[in-house]
């Protein structure tokens, strides 16, 4: 039933757009009760978010053998998903709902956000194993520098974001992650912290 609800939601967003979408339409076309939908999703925005972003699997990532390459591959895949017209319409609504709905915030953190951060943790771990990073870096920080900055650009500042900008963001974040690894791991060795005040 989950699948049917989400597929129908995607179809209706394509046909009528997110603003005109209603939970009633989804229930009617999917042949399920409205109550069944509201047991799964607290609002239209959450249902649409699940349908267009969270439940859509990322294409398998090949792995490129470098931190910069792996991050670029990952962020490009997210950019495609995050920049669709449906995502740009519903993300700001979801942001305002999460802010006033602690249950939704918890669900968002424990599922969507945790899954995203795990992808960064994997990439960082591989870079450490290759010797490209001096040690591990908090994946939440890598996530923030890349998808956090990208979400701000797309959903708060409403900038146009092209591939050159994604590439610059990844170049900057790669250098930033490398600097944090140097800083935290040389500090642990008792060496001077290069960026300490």
Does residue number 127 form part of the binding site for a second copy (CB under 8 A)?
Answer: no
Least distance CB 49 / a second copy (angstroms)? 12
Long-range contacts for 59-62 (Cβ within 8 Å, ≥24 apart)?
none
CB atoms within 10 A of CB 70: 24
Does residue number 192 form part of the binding site for a second copy (CB under 8 A)?
Answer: no
Least distance CB 113 / a second copy (angstroms)? 6
Does residue number 157 form part of the binding site for a second copy (CB under 8 A)?
Answer: yes
Does residue number 156 form part of the binding site for a second copy (CB under 8 A)?
Answer: yes
d(CA 103, CA 16): 29
Instruction: Please name which of 185, 174, 112 lies closest in space to residue 141, comparing C-alpha atoms.
Output: 174
88-122 as b/e: b if 16+ CB within 10 A: ebbbebbeebbeebeebeebbeeeeeeebbebbbe
Among 58, 83, 140, 185, binds a second copy (CB under 8 A): 140
Least distance CB 177 / a second copy (angstroms)? 7
Instruction: Please name which of 61, 52, 110 lies closest in space to residue 83, comparing C-alpha atoms.
Output: 52
Among 1, 99, 114, 118, binds a second copy (CB under 8 A): 99
Q: Residues in the site for a second copy, rule: CB under 8 A?
A: 68-69, 72, 88-89, 92-93, 95-96, 98-100, 105, 109, 113, 138, 140-141, 144-145, 147-149, 151-153, 155-159, 165, 168-169, 171-180, 183, 195, 197
């Amino acid at each position: 039933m989950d699948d049917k609800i989400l597929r129908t939601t995607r179809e209706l967003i394509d046909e009528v757009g997110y603003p005109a979408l209603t939970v009633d339409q989804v229930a009617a076309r999917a042949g399920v009760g409205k109550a069944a939908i509201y047991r799964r999703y607290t609002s239209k925005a959450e249902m649409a978010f699940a349908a267009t972003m969270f439940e859509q699997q990322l294409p398998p990532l090949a792995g490129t053998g470098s931190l910069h390459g792996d991050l670029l591959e990952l962020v490009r895949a997210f950019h495609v998903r995050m920049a669709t017209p449906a995502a740009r319409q519903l993300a700001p609504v979801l942001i305002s709902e999460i802010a006033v709905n602690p249950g939704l915030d918890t669900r968002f953190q424990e599922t969507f956000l945790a899954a995203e951060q795990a992808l960064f943790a994997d990439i960082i771990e591989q870079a450490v194993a290759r010797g490209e990073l001096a040690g591990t870096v908090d994946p939440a920080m890598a996530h923030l520098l890349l998808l956090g900055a990208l979400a701000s650009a797309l959903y708060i500042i409403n900038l146009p974001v092209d591939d050159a900008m994604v590439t610059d963001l990844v170049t900057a974040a790669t250098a930033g992650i490398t600097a944090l690894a140097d800083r935290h791991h040389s500090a642990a060795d008792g060496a001077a912290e290069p960026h300490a005040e």
